[in-house]
Amino acid sequence: MAYEAKTRPTDADVGQFVETVRSPTRRRDAYTLLDLHAQITGLEPVMWGPSIIGYGSHHYRYATGHEGDMPAAAFSPRTAATTFYLYGQDDDDHLLAELGPHRRGVGCLYVTNLERVDMDVLERLIRRSYEALTP
């Protein structure tokens, strides 16, 4: 049986999803990020799976032959932090040093409160990632 990605675009309403975010900080940040991502991408947000807000899409293929689609820019207001899905963070150490409080994972950036980070730096990180996936 072939692998089928669980994270795919859905018809779910982005605004309704944001209203279900329990943390007032994460919910406030999500509205800020909706505007920021729309400004960067020029696209409308789409729910990918039950909790990822994405913009555009990018087709990928691994050396193993596994392939699929993912949003070209995306974030998710999770319980512990807002997760940003970014491509190419390895080249962004100089920007990450200026960002403010955050944690990193493979392809992910975690921020607990947008009021504590440099929004210009965050915008540059999102833009660099998006442009790398949508040449």
Does 7 fall in a domain?
A: no
122 inside domain: yes
Round to whole Å and give the CA distance between 51 and 48: 7
CATH of the domain at 76: 3.90.1150
The 10s digit of each residue's pLDDT in 104-118 is: 998 899 999 999 999
- Please state the pTM of the whole predicted model: 0.92
Ramachandran angles phi, psi of 134, nearest 5°: -130, 65
Checking if the pLDDT of 1 tops 50, the result is: no
**Sheet strands side by side (includes 73-77):** 46-48, 52-55, 73-77, 82-85, 108-111, 103-105
Distance (Å, whole) CA 117 – CA 32: 13
Residue 99 in domain: yes
Q: Domain span at residue 43?
A: 14-133
Top-confidence residue, 3 or 37: 37
**pLDDT tens digits, 57-72:** 998 888 888 888 999 9
